[in-house]
A and B are shown apart, each in its own frame.
Chain A
Amino acid sequence: MPKINLEKELYLKNRELYVAQKKSQKLIYNISECIFVLDSKFKITLANKKSEIFFGKNHDLMGKKIDSVLFLVDKNEKIIPIKNFINSTSINLNGLKQIIDDKEFYFNLRISVITTEIPGNEEYVLTLTDVTPEKKSEISKDDFITITSHELRTPMTIIKSYLWLLQEEKAGPLNAKQSEYINKAINSSERMLSLINDMLSVSKIEQGKIEFKMEIFEIEKIISETLTDFDAKVKENGSKIVFEHDGTDNNILGDKKRLKEVIYNLVGNSIKFTKNGTIKVKISHNDNFVKVSVIDDGKGISKEDMPKLFRKFGKLENSYETMAESTGTGLGLYITKQLVEGMGGKISAKSDGNGKGSEFFFFLQKK
């Protein structure tokens, strides 16, 4: 057996380890995202090059508590203490803002926990992706939509009013052809107005400007009141609305106005796609939640279209009518979902397919 030169062997092994360690460090250091490694007390033990660009020199960052370096705020301008959401999965960590040297920067934040065999000795890896250019262009787009929609709404309302005056023959009698043309113009102006209103709502939701006045109220009462607004519309297409609940008064935590909007959208949709049928609005409950279902026996939704339902401009090809025939904007269900989630609820839908009706249902927390 050849004689082993211990020092040389150890040197070689140590060198290999050192080279590998340097390589990983270099890799982490040069990653295009900001990376912080925190110890169990949330103190920074590693910060890479990109972190230094935004948050200061490495030697200044090391050992500092992460909450004294990151002042990320959500879209409601609330500072998010890292500690609070390190074990949380429910908070949306995208598009968080931090002001650095009087300039606004936006980051997507991800946290990974490195567990060790010793309890309480966890480490955390924070990855911050700079999404400032994307976020700023999104903000500009939203501002553009908001301003344009506001500017369009006023003249459109005026156009609609004058068309209504003509339709009502306030400016003299109309012949059949004139009446037909004016009806078409009114339908189109209504469609455009609802699109403008929906775009404004979406814009507000996405900018976090929509406010929820959360209060405790009886859900049955609000739904019952809202449904009376549909009386004329359901008669018009030969359908009927059935309101089903077991007589219990369920108190929920929500926003009355937003709940009404949700009901308007869901029942409005059902009426639109149900001719001479029944729309059932059903309330059921357990100890924690109230479930509101809007069930119809109308056109239904195909399996392929189900995933598109709550997306923006998610008009469906296989079941819902095409743009030319429908007065919908493709934003209603997206807005509805945002409103339900804004009240802390969840919404979903099911259908057995085309022509087999559909059920939209949402859950709100019982109080």
Chain B
Amino acid sequence: MKNEISTIIREIILEQSNIVGSRVAIDRARATKVIEIKGDVINILSTPDDALKKLIKSFEEIFGDASVEVCDEVIKKHNLFKK
């Protein structure tokens, strides 16, 4: 489960990078304080569920509902949770 959520987090950051650029996307992930990014490695410092929620929140704060939709699309692709 943790691994799968790590993959989703990675994909959300990648997808957001395509829209706002990688620097901003990584900054927003780091702003959660529970996601650590070192090069290609992503470490989750809390529970996976919590990290994912905080990541989505972090994008929403700046970019609004549209950024949540982008996160949802990634999650739906993995079929882990129902919206």
Instruction: Identify the A interface with B (CB < 8 A).
Output: 5, 7-8, 11-12, 14-15, 18
Q: Is B20 an interface residue (CB 8 A)?
A: yes
Q: CA of A219 to CA of B79 in the docked complex: distance in angstroms? A: 80
State which residues 32-83 of B face A: CB under 8 Å: 62-64, 66-67, 70
> Chain A at the B interface: mostly helix, strand, loop or mixed?
helix
B66 touches A15 (CB 8 A): yes
> Chain B at the A interface: mostly helix, strand, loop or mixed?
helix
Number of interface residues of B (CB under 8 A): 9
When distances are taken between beta carbons in the complex, the residues of chain B under 8 Å from A14 are 19-20
When distances are taken between beta carbons in the complex, the residues of chain A under 8 Å from B63 are 7-8, 11
Q: Could you give 20 example pairs across A and B, Cβ below 8 Å?
A: A5-B64, A7-B62, A7-B63, A7-B64, A8-B62, A8-B63, A8-B64, A8-B66, A11-B19, A11-B20, A11-B62, A11-B63, A11-B67, A12-B66, A14-B20, A15-B19, A15-B66, A15-B70, A18-B18, A18-B19
Count A-B contacts at CB 8 Å.
Answer: 23
Q: CA of A337 to CA of B63 in the docked complex: distance in angstroms? A: 68
When distances are taken between beta carbons in the complex, the residues of chain B under 8 Å from A8 are 62-64, 66
Shortest Cβ-Cβ A-B pairs, 10 listed: A11-B63, A8-B64, A14-B19, A7-B62, A15-B19, A18-B19, A12-B66, A18-B18, A11-B66, A7-B63
Closest Cβ of chain B: how far from A7's Cβ, in Å? 5
Q: CA of A8 to CA of B64 in the docked complex: distance in angstroms? A: 6
Q: CA of A8 to CA of B18 in the docked complex: distance in angstroms? A: 15
Closest Cβ of chain B: how far from A14's Cβ, in Å? 5
Closest Cβ of chain B: how far from A85's Cβ, in Å? 38
Q: CA of A325 to CA of B67 in the docked complex: distance in angstroms? A: 80
Q: CA of A15 to CA of B66 in the docked complex: distance in angstroms? A: 8
When distances are taken between beta carbons in the complex, the residues of chain A under 8 Å from B70 are 15
